[in-house]
Chain A
């Protein structure tokens, strides 16, 4: 069964420091991987995706993620955190094996950027 794991419920980072939000996945076949961000009382916003090609994917707001097939990971990173990055981050996987594919979300990681 497809699954996504975000091992950290919460990550605290000082402003200006690099941040990493971890994600590992378990799927059969070649995954499509996504990161979404959710601000309080807001919808899910698309950050970036990996479909194929370069393992380092760059997305919105200076975020990037690295696809590591051997470790089945897709960690979200940013070189220098901003207080405004504080939000809930969801990793997601989609395996397009048929017409009925859908996105499966991880449990989410709450990112706190400390001023």
Chain B
């Protein structure tokens, strides 16, 4: 069965650089969520999209932005990277139904040096 695809798997950036993380949801899933998991931390909600529109916003820094495209894939853009942005970034997708949990991707590990 198709899963949530995230790319790249690993990314190393220097401080003040820019990074773009991509997420491809399961086919026919119209909702995408982004989570950030710092070392030893629980996942923290960043932002979500439903039908290409932002549906909710969590603890996402102003330096980050995201969007969902017409094919439902989503990109998380991170600028002016800081050392504290080093984390595992998960994308999850969900169909338009409240009885479902999310299906998570394997994550992108971002290391800022």
Contact = CB atoms under 8 A, between A and B. Distances in A.
Contact of A49 (B56, B101, B109): B101
B106 A46 contact: no
Contacts of B106: 42-43
A100 B56 CA distance: 5
A37 B64 CA distance: 28
Contact of B43 (A32, A34, A44, A101): A44
Contacts of A102: 33, 45, 48, 56, 58
A100 B43 contact: no
Interface in A19-52: 32, 34, 36, 41-46, 49, 51
Contact of B101 (A46, A100, A107, A108): A46
Interface residues of A, number: 25
B21 to A, nearest CB: 14
Nearest to B51: A99
Given A99-B55, A102-B56, A44 B42 contact: no
Contacts of A105: 42-43
A67 interface: no
B108 to A, nearest CB: 10
A96 interface: yes
Contacts of A83: none
Considering residues A51, A90, A105, which has the most beta carbons from chain B within 10 angstroms of its beta carbon? A105
Interface of B: 33, 41-43, 45, 48, 50, 55-56, 58, 90, 92, 98-99, 101-107, 109
Interface of A: 32, 34, 36, 41-46, 49, 51, 90, 92, 94, 96, 99-108
Given A32-B99, A44-B104, 4 more contacts: A43-B90, A43-B105, A51-B99, A104-B45
